[in-house]
Amino acid sequence: MPIIRVALDVPVATLFDYFASDATAQDVGARVQVPFGRKLMTGVIMEVSASSSVSLDKLKSATHIFHDVPPLPTALLDLLKFCSNYYHHPLGEVVMNALPGRLRSIKPLVQKSTTTLQFRFTDAGRTADTSSIPARNIVQNRLLARLRDSGAISREEAKQFSPHAPKALQKFVTLGWVKEVPVYPASFTKTVSGPTLNIEQENAITAIAAEIGEFNAWLLHGITGSGKTEVYLQLITLLLLQGRQTLVLVPEINLTPQLEAVFRARFPTTLLVCLHSKLNASERVNGWLQAQQGEAKIILGTRLAVFAPLPRLGLIIVDEEQDGSFKQQDGLRYSARDVAIFRAKQANVPVILGSATPSLESYYNAINGRYRMLRLTSRAVKNAVLPTIHCVDTRIAKNSDGLSKPLVMALKKCLARNQQSLIFLNRRGYAPVLLCKSCSWTATCHRCTSRLVVHLREKQLRCHHCGHQEHFPSACPMCGDQDIAPFGHGTQRVEATLTECFPNARILRIDRDSTRLKDGWQRMLKDIYERRVDILVGTQILAKGHDFPNLSLVGILNSDASLFSTDFRAAERLFAQLMQVAGRAGRSDIAGEVLIQTEFPNHPLYHALRRHDYDTLAQMLLTERKMAGFPPFVYQALLRAEAPQISDALDFLANAAAMTESSREVEVFDPVPAQMARLKGLERAHLLVQSSSRKRLREFLAAWHIKLVTLPVRKVRWTLDVDPQEF
């Protein structure tokens, strides 16, 4: 009897063998229901074989192989195997988590047809003797005549034909005269033409188009507003003509209805599906199936879309490739950008990484020739120029409750011109600290190593890491003094200050608190576009992807903290973020101005920013990284451990370190507490390993992982994070 090897969503790095009398080689990739312990589970058949390494009398039989949707294609299974291997994560979990929820269920999928269905004559119907239908049955007779004439009728048409038609058609189906079959949209592609390309866009498109049939990683380095999207759209047009699919990955926050609308407007007859975590279960499975069947030609999605089955894949685009949301921070800790590159190589198709501020990893790959660099150096819209950027030295300039005089003056001018302005600070709430002035006590979260943020309107203290909330104390719990006060500035406080300074201005705060309501953000965007807002105050939600044509002033507060962070990536991230925020100003024909409030106006990062000079800063950061031995000059992996007691976590890591074989090529560091040493009540520590050779590191990790799973854990939860982004 055939034996199937099944991937199941359980945290063990093995496949499970079952008997399956009806399994054939065609069932590889199909879902299967199997008994597991005392319950039934759904898994995916990874192999069909004649033998098992488990003794046969121990094997159970699979209960059911699903044929409701086509099996996963081999290429996708290979991609998932690669991820399981590379990230050292159990294959079963990798495979099952790549499926939409509906397909993980133990029930077969009941499809509310995503494609339109049509009733068509069968051969039997065309030659059937219909004289048995009485003449007075007008509906049935007219339906038959209609089917004879046009060959088919859709359910909708039938309903309009007569309210009794669906029932009559059902009868014909039972008689075997008629069959319901899907209609595929006509294969012609209508493309609305875009703007006339500028020479740099033209060059980029020509270069990629010339090698569209093979793998290349292209780094499209284009300043904000340089028309990268237009380059994508033109290349997608090319792919559509070949009937091939394009996967477009965008950061979490960028997948806005605006972007979707741009794509839909350009390709009105093309089936485009969006795949992201906010979809409901049936939307997700429908989009996924349309991708799998090759019907959806454009797949626009966030990181999880990188695992969509795409039989006709022709191009992958990763927009804002530097964005942190491409890396998943729990479970399978994958980088969708890196998986996209592997996938493109596997499918032998090009991948385009687009950014105004590429990650140093990608930039380094481009300058050393592993990726190919294309540049867009000017803004695409006629007359739009990059904004001028100035620093306001807050050691000199008077600062009244967070806003310096020059910034207030600039806001005033902007209001007088009826233009919009934006105040950016990456800190929601009223103030980041609640401080006792007599004993210096500050409110901290008892579950995390973090301060509680003051939310004045709600009279609450909140932890932004674990969600813990508590009431505002009336006195200091340490010394009893009542002189406790918010310290520092968050968006709510800046909003309050602005309201005081500009009582007649329409001020809108945009952060995770204010956009929480369903459609809140969409409504706010509409207000901005329709000019019902004068001053925007907000966090990074505002930084990306949006084109606010009437915005001419950007003020940046509180960015200094990241200049001296212990995280070696902080400067890179700050620069990318500030470039993006600054890029919101002056997108159309009004000039933009950016004011940065800082105590360190001479910091090289601000120098580079003022000159819009990514390259100089990137070179400088690369030199620093090289000297310090940080990525991209080394490859890293982090063994993370958490436990109720820090000693347990550290002991585990010490034991793990003791099992490594020291080598010159792979460095193993000492276990240390994580930067956020306590989170949600658990103590966290980690152990870093690194190597200048990715291959050596992979070999090391593979051998080490086998030993790690044998270690006793005692209340410790551990994971291996390959290419970690956070420490």
Q: Which part of the chain contacts Zn ion (CB under 5 A), choosing from 84-92, 99-107, 475-483, 630-638?
A: 475-483
Among ligand ADP, Zn ion, none, the one that 448 touches (CB under a kind-dependent 5 to 8 A) is: Zn ion
Q: Which part of the chain contacts Zn ion (CB under 5 A), choosing from 95-103, 367-375, 480-488, 683-691?
A: 480-488
Please state, in angstroms and rounded to a whole number, the distance separating the CA atoms of residues 654 and 670: 8
380 lies in the site for ligand ADP, by CB under 6 A: yes
Choose which of 281, 409, 478, 676 interacts with Zn ion (CB under 5 A): 478
- Between CA 516 and CA 522, with CA 519 as vertex, the angle to 5 degrees is 105
Q: How far is the CB of 337 from ligand ADP (least distance, A)?
A: 17
Choose which of 230, 323, 513, 572 interacts with ligand ADP (CB under 6 A): 230
Among Zn ion, ligand ADP, none, the one that 491 touches (CB under a kind-dependent 5 to 8 A) is: none
Among Zn ion, ligand ADP, none, the one that 617 touches (CB under a kind-dependent 5 to 8 A) is: none
Please state, in angstroms and rounded to a whole number, the distance separating the CA atoms of residues 105 and 344: 30
- Residues in contact with 719: Cβ distance below 8 Å, sequence separation at least 6, in sequence order: 333, 639, 640
Q: How far is the CB of 450 from Zn ion (least distance, A)?
A: 6
**Residue 97, H or E segment:** helix 91-97
Q: Which part of the chain contacts ligand ADP (CB under 6 A), choosing from 43-51, 190-198, 404-412, 615-623?
A: 190-198
Nearer CB in complex with ligand ADP: 103/236: 236
450 lies in the site for ligand ADP, by CB under 6 A: no
Among ligand ADP, Zn ion, none, the one that 226 touches (CB under a kind-dependent 5 to 8 A) is: ligand ADP
Among ligand ADP, Zn ion, none, the one that 436 touches (CB under a kind-dependent 5 to 8 A) is: Zn ion
Token duo for residue 189: 């592609």
Among Zn ion, ligand ADP, none, the one that 140 touches (CB under a kind-dependent 5 to 8 A) is: none
Among Zn ion, ligand ADP, none, the one that 622 touches (CB under a kind-dependent 5 to 8 A) is: none
Q: Which of 70, 74, 60 is nearest to 19 (CA)?
A: 60
Dmax over Cα atoms in the chain, in whole Å?
Answer: 100
Among ligand ADP, Zn ion, none, the one that 198 touches (CB under a kind-dependent 5 to 8 A) is: ligand ADP
197 lies in the site for ligand ADP, by CB under 6 A: yes
Residues 272-311 that bind ligand ADP (CB under 6 A): none
- Between CA 65 and CA 71, with CA 66 as vertex, the angle to 5 degrees is 100
Nearer CB in complex with ligand ADP: 231/239: 231
Query: Up-side HSE of residue 380: CA atoms within 13 Å toward CB?
Result: 22
720 lies in the site for Zn ion, by CB under 5 A: no
Nearer CB in complex with ligand ADP: 98/205: 205
Q: Which part of the chain contacts ligand ADP (CB under 6 A), choosing from 134-142, 194-202, 364-372, 406-414?
A: 194-202
Choose which of 227, 350, 490, 631 interacts with ligand ADP (CB under 6 A): 227
SS (H, E, C) 447-488: CCCCECEEECCCCEEECCCCCCEEECCCCCCCCCCCCEEEEC
195 lies in the site for ligand ADP, by CB under 6 A: yes
Among ligand ADP, Zn ion, none, the one that 441 touches (CB under a kind-dependent 5 to 8 A) is: Zn ion
547 lies in the site for ligand ADP, by CB under 6 A: yes
Q: Note whether 521 and 515 are within 8 A (CB).
A: yes
Q: Note whether 536 and 425 are within 8 A (CB).
A: no
Q: How far is the CB of 210 from ligand ADP (least distance, A)?
A: 20
Q: Which part of the chain contacts Zn ion (CB under 5 A), choosing from 108-116, 124-132, 478-486, 710-718?
A: 478-486
Residues 424-463 that bind Zn ion (CB under 5 A): 436, 439, 441, 445, 447-448, 463
Count other C-beta atoms under 10 Å from residue 714's C-beta.
10
Q: Note whether 152 and 144 are within 8 A (CB).
A: no
Q: Sign of dihedral through CA atoms 196, 198, 200, 202?
A: positive
Q: How far is the CB of 693 from ligand ADP (least distance, A)?
A: 35
Nearer CB in complex with Zn ion: 366/682: 682
Angle formed by the axes of helices 228-241 and 257-266, to 10°?
A: 50
Nearer CB in complex with Zn ion: 99/445: 445
Nearer CB in complex with Zn ion: 315/476: 476
Count other C-beta atoms under 10 Å from residue 657's C-beta.
17
Looking at residue 692, what DSSP letter applies?
S
381 lies in the site for ligand ADP, by CB under 6 A: yes
Angle formed by the axes of helices 199-210 and 228-241, to 10°?
A: 40
682 lies in the site for Zn ion, by CB under 5 A: no
Choose which of 479, 485, 706, 713 interacts with Zn ion (CB under 5 A): 479
Q: Answer whether the bond into residue 70 is a cis peptide, omega within 30°.
A: no
Where on the phi/psi map is residue 268: left (φ > 0), alpha (ψ -120 to 50), or beta?
alpha
Residues 114-153 that bind ligand ADP (CB under 6 A): none
Cα dist from 237 to 232, 241, 438, whole Å: 9, 6, 67
Q: How far is the CB of 439 from Zn ion (least distance, A)?
A: 3
- Between CA 351 and CA 362, with CA 357 as vertex, the angle to 5 degrees is 45
Q: How far is the CB of 713 from Zn ion (least distance, A)?
A: 24
198 lies in the site for ligand ADP, by CB under 6 A: yes
Please state, in angstroms and rounded to a whole number, the distance separating the CA atoms of residues 666 and 636: 10
- Between CA 558 and CA 569, with CA 564 as vertex, the angle to 5 degrees is 100
Q: Which own/partner pairs from 102-111 qualify as long-range (CB within 8 Å, at least 24 positions apart)?
A: 102/281, 102/282, 102/284, 102/285, 103/31, 103/42, 103/69, 103/285, 103/288, 104/9, 104/42, 105/42, 106/33, 106/40, 106/41, 106/42, 108/66, 108/68, 109/66, 109/68, 109/69, 109/285, 111/68, 111/289
Among Zn ion, ligand ADP, none, the one that 466 touches (CB under a kind-dependent 5 to 8 A) is: Zn ion
Q: How far is the CB of 262 from ligand ADP (least distance, A)?
A: 8
Nearer CB in complex with Zn ion: 422/431: 431
Which residues on neighbouring strands pair with residue 423, listed in sequence order? Answer: 537, 555
468 lies in the site for Zn ion, by CB under 5 A: yes
Which value, in Å, is the radius of gyration of the alpha carbons in the chain? 30
Choose which of 42, 140, 201, 690 interacts with ligand ADP (CB under 6 A): 201
222 lies in the site for ligand ADP, by CB under 6 A: yes
**Residue 272, H or E segment:** strand 272-275
Footprint on this chain of Zn ion (rule: CB under 5 A):
436, 439, 441, 445, 447-448, 463, 465-466, 468, 476, 478-479, 481
Footprint on this chain of ligand ADP (rule: CB under 6 A):
195-198, 201, 222, 224-230, 380-381, 547
